[in-house]
Every structure is written in C-alpha cells, then in structure tokens.
Amino acid sequence: MKALPEHPEGVQPEGVHPEGVNAEGVQPDVVREQTTALLVEHVAARVNQVLVEAQEDRGRASLALTGGPLVITAIQALAASTRTAEFVPDWSCVDLWWCEEYFLPQEHPQRNAQRAAAASENFMLLSQVPPENVHVIGDSDQFFTAEDAAADYLAELKAAADADGNGGEFPIVDIALLGVGAHQPVAAQMSGSTGAQALDLDRLPEPGRMHEATVVVCGSHQEPSPLIAMTLPLISTSHHLWMLASDAQEVAAAQQLVRNTTAGGSQGLGVSGQFSTVLFTTSED
C-alpha cells in the first residue's frame, strides 16, 4: 500500500500534543478554511487518513458522530470521498457510533441517524457498513422511555468494549467528530443542563466496569424529544477529538469544552482526545 499523503500545510501531524495539558487545558490545533465546502473536504481527508491507519494497525477502525448541520455536511463529504479519494478505509471494517440521538420514532427526520443516511444516500456509504457495525441509539418505536434506550446503548458499549479485547472499559473510538453549536448535546452538558440525568447502572443486568456517567438523558420528560448522549468523559477517551465550528460563538463553545478553567477561574471541562484535539472552523475569530 502506498504511503499516506502528508498532512496539509500548516497543520501539525496527529500525535500527542507537544504542549500537553496545563492550567488552561489542552490547546487544540486550529484548522481554518475560507468556505464550508473546503472545510468539510479537509475533514473528510483527515478522517479517511486516520481510519486507514487504524485498520493497518489493528484491522478495524471506529468513528463516533454527533448531529448538527456542519457534521452532517462533513458526512456527505466523507461519503463523496469514497469515489474520489486515493486513500479510503474498508468501510466493512468500520464501526459507526453516535455520540447523541433524539428519542423519536426510528424514521423521524430529526433523528441524526436519519439525517446522516440521507446525506450519504447518493454515495451508498452506509450500505458499505454492515448493519451490526452501525451502533444507533434506540428510538421511541423500540423503547418506552429514553432511559430504557440509554440503558440499551450502555449495554451495547460494554459489549463492544469486551469484544475489543483490550482490557478497557470503553470500546476503542478512533475519532469523535463533534458539532459544537448552541443546540448540540455537547452544549447541553457544558451548560450544566438541569435535565441531564446520569443513567442508573443498577438497571443493567451486568453493569461491569462501565463508568456511571457513560450515558445521559438531556431534557425534561415534558419536552417532545429528549436527547440521549454519551457523556464528555466517554467522548474524551477517543483517540482523536475533532470539533467543527462555523462561527465565533461555536469557536467559543469549543474553547470552553477543552479548558480546565474558565476565564473567571471556575472549573472547566478539560475535554480532549488521547492523541489529538483539533478545531476545524471557517471563523476567523
């Protein structure tokens, strides 16, 4: 197999952050493009590269996604790249996870899995991934409550961790691709939403060693569509944590996400990837 292409000019190679973690947290690499089209093409190329490298290393690769317009557009670019890119992974050996999902009927257009399927339909991306490799969070057709769907997803995460055989309590995730818009579940957790509830592990037959805050339900029971989300501690076990931001407000949200302390000195979130933390944006701020 040919060597993978060099990283784009001005972008540091993937690897452990040279600056490490300090009082401000890991400082993410920032990748800026002038247009959304250029940005998502760049993201797609980087995703393909990491997934190919992961498959060369252990025979499999994994990608975790949120929703949001920019992430869905990136999925579309990733799907298109299967026909044009020189280096693409074997999608039959890729696991797709969802960092969050709306608790709605299975085919509801607001569900992120449905949006991703629609975005990639013309390129048949998801048809290349075996159904058992697509880990969709349960819907309201399958489960009576969002908590039941969250419990099921937690059990699926544990089963995948056991199947990885690496002794970890979470499955290996090569890339977590996060939208950081104001209405994303990441933002809901960042704001300390009063509706966020940690899942009670006692509801699972075999809770194993999974962290008690692996999955949360965001939003009150009165809202029509609660969100079921991986927590930030779980997301930060990803090898690469990449955030997509389209404007200054979203850039600020991403910066809050990775800082250990806020400007006022209060406790921040300090979330980062194990090997890289990157902010992709079209904003100049």
CA distance 159 to 154: 9
pLDDT of 260: 57
For the segment 191-216, what is each residue's pLDDT rounded down to a tens digit?
Answer: 444 344 444 333 333 333 333 446 77
> How are beta strands 61-65 and 175-179 bridged, if at all?
parallel
Which sign does the torsion angle of CA 75, 95, 181, 146 carry? Answer: positive
What count of Cα atoms within 13 Å lies in the side-chain half-sphere of residue 258? 28
For the segment 217-249, what is each residue's pLDDT rounded down to a tens digit?
Answer: 766 444 567 888 888 778 888 999 999 988 887
Eight-state DSSP code of residue 192: T
CATH number of the domain located at residue range(s) 29-281 in this protein: 3.40.50.1360
Nearest to 271 by CA among 26, 61, 32, 1: 26
Distances (CA, A) of 180 to 140, 183, 201, 243, 279: 25, 8, 28, 7, 10
Which sign does the torsion angle of CA 121, 127, 128, 130 carry? Answer: positive
Domain ranges of the chain: 29-281
94 bridge partner residues: 61
pLDDT of 255: 76
pLDDT below 70 — which residues of the chain? 1-26, 122-123, 181-214, 218-224, 260-269, 284-285
pLDDT of 285: 59
pLDDT of 200: 37
CA distance 250 to 281: 9
pLDDT of 186: 58
pLDDT of 219: 62
| pTM, full prediction | 0.80
